[in-house]
Amino acid sequence: MAADLKKKTEEAVAKLRQTMSGEDAAAIRTEADALGQLIQQIGTSMYQQPGAGPTPEAGPEAGPTPGGQNGPANDGQGGKGPGGEDVVDGEFKNV
């Protein structure tokens, strides 16, 4: 992150904290919106850096992986549904 963006963010946080000690809701909202815009700029600059983006180590919420380690069949419930009842994905019969 660029040093100037970091400095602007720190200043915006300090200004918002000072404004929050008062009771002017509109001023608080204005300062919070300004801080939100700076945070969006930080996110944008992070994704513009080389190598930025989702990583394969994103965790279980990243979805199923080859081998079914994160899939619903291996969710640690042993084939049980949300209420504890047995769940069958589908049955097929060859005729």
Q: What is the pLDDT of residues 21-51, one digit of tens each?
A: 998 999 999 999 999 999 998 888 888 877 6
> Considering the domain boundaries, does residue 73 fall inside one?
no
Q: Is the pLDDT of residue 71 over 50?
A: no
> Considering the domain boundaries, does residue 10 fall inside one?
yes
Evaluate whether 79 touches 87 at the Cβ level (below 8 Å): yes
Tell me the two tokens of residue 23: 């009771």
Domain coverage including residue 33: 3-48
Percent of the chain with pLDDT over 90: 32
Residues 1 and 43: their CA atoms lie apart, in Å, by 9
CA 31 to chain centre: 23
When divided into structural domains, the chain yields a total of 1
pTM given for the model: 0.48
